[in-house]
Structure 1
Amino acid sequence: MLQVSIKRGREKRIKGFHPWVYKNDILSFSRRPKPGELCVVRDYKGAFLAKGYINPDSYIAIRILTYRKDEKLDLKFFIKRISEALEYRKGIVPSDSTGFRLIHSEADYLPGLIVDYYNGYLVVQITTLGMEVLKDKVVQALIEVVKPKGIYEKSTVQVRELEGLPLVEQSLYGEIPEKVVITENGIKFNVQIIGGQKTGYFLDQRENKLLFAKEFVKEGDRVLDAFCHLGGFGIHAAVIGKAKEVVAVDSSQLALDLAKENAKLNGVADKFQFVKGDAFKVLKRMQQEGEKFDSIVIDPPAFAKSKTVVEQAKRGYKELFLRGLKMLKPGGNIVVCSCSHHITPPILEEILLSAAYDTRIPLKVLYTTYQAKDHPFVLQIPESRYLKCIFAKSFPWEV
């Protein structure tokens, strides 16, 4: 196996269980590395640190799979890792939810691998060259541990191109339906496996949707669900919160069509008004027309995919938050989210505070939450805490 020595002082991060070795950490190789192959990581004196896989052309050159010298990176290794991940999910995913994240990359010690479970079917996303090389072992292990009806690969994220990999969407095992129905907090949702966004559904908001519906929505409320995707927050508000009316906004016709199906599945289609369009323009028009809501959710896609666009992203978030606050009834609730890891919790609070100042709406924050427990973040990797949500309530009087 390839031996990789890292520079003096760089071993501290590895010993602290940070799972990445950067290109400029490397001191030497025992031979010329093959992209994607397994390797042993050693300190500058030759002492063992870890095992992983390498892509010498990537900024993150090595991703660590184990810190144990005696652990072989064979099929048994993947069966063990996946079994551990499944046991963890059994303990934290509620029994009324048949969709969950089974493997969350570094958080499950399988960097470069995402696996989502949808009522018996698995959707796999591979983001790194090293995990691509190991894909056959991963699929074999998933079949043995999970015994799924089918496995579908949706490796369509742009980060693959940084690893020299093509975008891929294909069946890996069994018969794959175009759509599958899952339950989330007891609510039914159609998930578009083939041709849908990401792996088909955004599972990371499960706990936030339930919190919103149970504590922030009351019977008879009017709710705005901006960037609604498949209608998650809005349908929770209608079914669990018993909202009277939900206005759901999204720019994707496919997402809105599925959201309409989901509303029908749960018997709340009559409560919904679906609006197709750019949320910036739609919210501006609604605000100018004097629309008012008891509760508002603003959950946009990632605006800041790199540090260079953080300031521009902050302006985008602020415009949305301003529009939302201006449509909020006194005593109403607003939930704002960001799935950009560059927008840290303090930055998100700063943006909301600035919007509250400009609109002269006093807010009290009741919760700051993150992604669901089946998407845990790694303490050593701040970037893995990507989703932040602020649950705030306005004071029950106008200034």
Structure 2
Amino acid sequence: MSASAPAPRPNTAVLTRKGADRVRAGHPWIYRSDVTDLEADRGAVVEVRDGRGAPLGRALSSTESQITLRMLTRDATPVDRAFWRARLAAAIAVRERLALDATALRLVHGEADLLPSLIVDRYDDVLVVQTLSQGTDAHRELIVELLVELLQPRGVLLRNDPKVRTLEGLPQEVALAYGEVPAQVEVREGPVRYLVDPWHGQKTGLFLDQGENHAVAAGYARGRALDAFSYQGGFALRMAPHVDHVLALDASADAVAAIAANAARQGLGNVEAREANVFDALREFERGEERFDTIVLDPPAFAKHKGAVPKAISGYKDINLRALRLLKPGGHLITCTCSAHVDEGMFGGIIYSAATDAQIPVVVVEKRMQGRDHPVLLGVPETYYLKCFVLRRAG
């Protein structure tokens, strides 16, 4: 008589009271310290219960990350093909209703679309996908299949090279998942056209979360403008038709070349792209008594973890202090942080401290955030990462 096959693992998780309260409060992340028992295969969908056995929903599991569970449902809804299709279709429908004036946008924004650790960006007829946890990575073939079914793209690229995947025990890799994805794709954001490299560009090719803020900045821009930490020139190119001259600064030679090329594509002769360390450049401008009517500060995340916050505060204060000193009276400063660990209140305090030290009166004109295609899930502060203040120098 042959031995019977082993019974399949039950794929269940039991939470501490703290973990259960976190689920009931709506946060999708459950940490390892709040899981008392877990029986699950790598990246499996698990049934989640509290210590008394009451069901809490279903989640994606991880055998390595400190984020052991990522909640998908708050009930017993099966997580099957129909589930994934419905969630993807709902996220896509939201973007269609936004009617953004762009051919490059985010279609799925992870937790805020109730699809934690999944990113889907659209560049014209090409999709770029990131599966950032064991759970979404285990379902990536199904996800790609459904995206092709729903959108009929020319190609789908897996940009699974973010470092965060190493926390899940996953490799960093870039791979073609479907069709054809060329080395460059032309996209449009408002009146500006870009050539995007989906295989090697920052993030998935472009920083898509500032698109609507680019347009807002253009509305305030005038005179002589400065776009610091410019990357591919998103702010500079949108401001250029409204100013006499715009100087775009970035530390990357490749970024500077891209700014120049993108400016030439638009026929914008008043855009100057310069390779520079922004901290050093701001100091030099101040010593040289250069002044600007419009300044944009859009630096990379200075605080990628909580331990980096004190140093980040110092960095943000330094650049904002110097920018305010370089700003002409009546001019506008558009200043941003994409550090999730620096919240809106903290960032406002940094700006206030910089203005106080500079002895410059400053008016807050607008408070903005990431674009509407990058939604924020209420109660999940990690999804509210981009803060943008539009300031006017009074006097």
Q: TM-score scaled to structure 2, two decimals?
A: 0.95
Structure 2 partner of 1:225: 227
**For the residues of structure 1 that align with 2:204 and 2:190, how far apart are their CA atoms?**
19
**For the residues of structure 1 that align with 2:286 and 2:165, how far apart are their CA atoms?**
40
Partner of residue 13 from structure 1, selected from 13, 22, 25: 22
User: Runs of 5+ in structure 2 lacking a partner?
Assistant: 1-9
Identity level (%): 37
Q: Decide whether the 8 Å contact of 2:132 with 2:160 is kept in 1.
A: yes
Partner of residue 69 from structure 2, selected from 62, 71, 82: 62
Structure 2 partner of 1:97: 102
Q: Deviation at 1:357?
A: 1.4
Q: Decide whether the 8 Å contact of 1:149 with 1:174 is kept in 2.
A: yes
**For the residues of structure 1 that align with 2:13 and 2:329, how far apart are their CA atoms?**
61
Partner of residue 78 from structure 2, selected from 66, 72, 75: 72
Q: Deviation at 1:12?
A: 2.5
Asked if 1:151 is matched to 2:153, the reply is no
Structure 1 partner of 2:5: none
Q: Decide whether the 8 Å contact of 1:302 with 1:339 is kept in 2.
A: yes
* Alpha-carbon displacement from aligned partner over 1:29-55 (angstroms, at most 9, x marks no partner): 4x4x32211110012222221111111
Instruction: Find the residue that maps to 2:17 and give its secondary structure.
Output: coil
Q: Decide whether the 8 Å contact of 2:158 with 2:175 is kept in 1.
A: yes
Question: 1:226 corresponds to which letter in structure 2?
Answer: A
Structure 2 partner of 1:276: 275
**For the residues of structure 2 that align with 1:383 and 1:390, how far apart are their CA atoms?**
19
Query: Does the C-alpha gap of structure 1 residues 257 and 9 become closer, same or farther in structure 2, counting only changes over 3 Å?
Result: closer
Q: Deviation at 1:102?
A: 0.3
**For the residues of structure 2 that align with 1:146 and 1:186, how far apart are their CA atoms?**
25
Give 1:164-313 correspondences, 5 Å limit: 164-214=169-219, 216-218=220-222, 221-239=223-241, 242-268=242-268, 270-313=269-312
**For the residues of structure 2 that align with 1:132 and 1:10, how far apart are their CA atoms?**
24
Q: Deviation at 1:7?
A: 2.0
Instruction: Find the residue that maps to 1:301 and give its secondary structure.
Output: coil
**For the residues of structure 2 that align with 1:366 and 1:303, how far apart are their CA atoms?**
24
Q: Deviation at 1:158?
A: 1.2
**For the residues of structure 1 that align with 2:281 and 2:160, how far apart are their CA atoms?**
32
Q: Decide whether the 8 Å contact of 1:93 with 1:374 is kept in 2.
A: no
**For the residues of structure 2 that align with 1:255 and 1:200, how far apart are their CA atoms?**
12
* Alpha-carbon displacement from aligned partner over 1:344-382 (angstroms, at most 9, x marks no partner): 111111111111112111000011111111101111211
Question: 1:238 corresponds to which letter in structure 2?
Answer: A
Question: 1:23 corresponds to which letter in structure 2?
Answer: R
Q: Deviation at 1:288?
A: 1.5
Structure 1 partner of 2:37: 28
More moved, 52-61 vs 160-169: 52-61
Q: Deviation at 1:15?
A: 2.2
Instruction: Find the residue that maps to 1:107 and give its secondary structure.
Output: helix
**For the residues of structure 2 that align with 1:170 and 1:287, how far apart are their CA atoms?**
46
Q: How many residues align?
A: 386
Q: Deviation at 1:146?
A: 1.3
* Alpha-carbon displacement from aligned partner over 1:72-111 (angstroms, at most 9, x marks no partner): 22222221111101110011132x3111100000111111
* Alpha-carbon displacement from aligned partner over 1:15-36 (angstroms, at most 9, x marks no partner): 232212221221224x4x3221
Structure 1 partner of 2:382: 383
Q: Decide whether the 8 Å contact of 2:108 with 2:120 is kept in 1.
A: yes
Structure 1 partner of 2:113: 108
Give 1:357-376 correspondences, 5 Å limit: 357-376=356-375
**For the residues of structure 2 that align with 1:395 and 1:108, how far apart are their CA atoms?**
40
**For the residues of structure 1 that align with 2:17 and 2:323, how far apart are their CA atoms?**
52
**For the residues of structure 1 that align with 2:167 and 2:37, how far apart are their CA atoms?**
23
Q: Deviation at 1:154?
A: 1.2
**For the residues of structure 1 that align with 2:341 and 2:17, how far apart are their CA atoms?**
30
* Alpha-carbon displacement from aligned partner over 1:122-154 (angstroms, at most 9, x marks no partner): 111121111111111111111111111111111
Q: Decide whether the 8 Å contact of 2:108 with 2:118 is kept in 1.
A: yes
**For the residues of structure 1 that align with 2:171 and 2:17, how far apart are their CA atoms?**
36
Q: Deviation at 1:9?
A: 4.9
More moved, 37-46 vs 334-343: 37-46
Query: Does the C-alpha gap of structure 1 residues 127 and 9 become closer, same or farther in structure 2, counting only changes over 3 Å?
Result: closer
**For the residues of structure 1 that align with 2:273 and 2:111, how far apart are their CA atoms?**
37
Q: Decide whether the 8 Å contact of 2:15 with 2:34 is kept in 1.
A: yes
Instruction: Find the residue that maps to 1:225 and give its secondary structure.
Output: strand
**For the residues of structure 2 that align with 1:294 and 1:131, how far apart are their CA atoms?**
46
* Alpha-carbon displacement from aligned partner over 1:157-202 (angstroms, at most 9, x marks no partner): 1111111111111211111111111111232122221211110101
Instruction: Find the residue that maps to 1:10 and give its secondary structure.
Output: helix
Structure 1 partner of 2:318: 319
Asked if 1:46 is matched to 2:53, the reply is yes
Q: Deviation at 1:248?
A: 0.1
User: Runs of 5+ in structure 1 lacking a partner?
Assistant: none
**For the residues of structure 1 that align with 2:226 and 2:384, how far apart are their CA atoms?**
26
Question: 1:196 corresponds to which letter in structure 2?
Answer: G
Q: CA RMSD in A?
A: 1.3
Moved over 4 A (4+): none
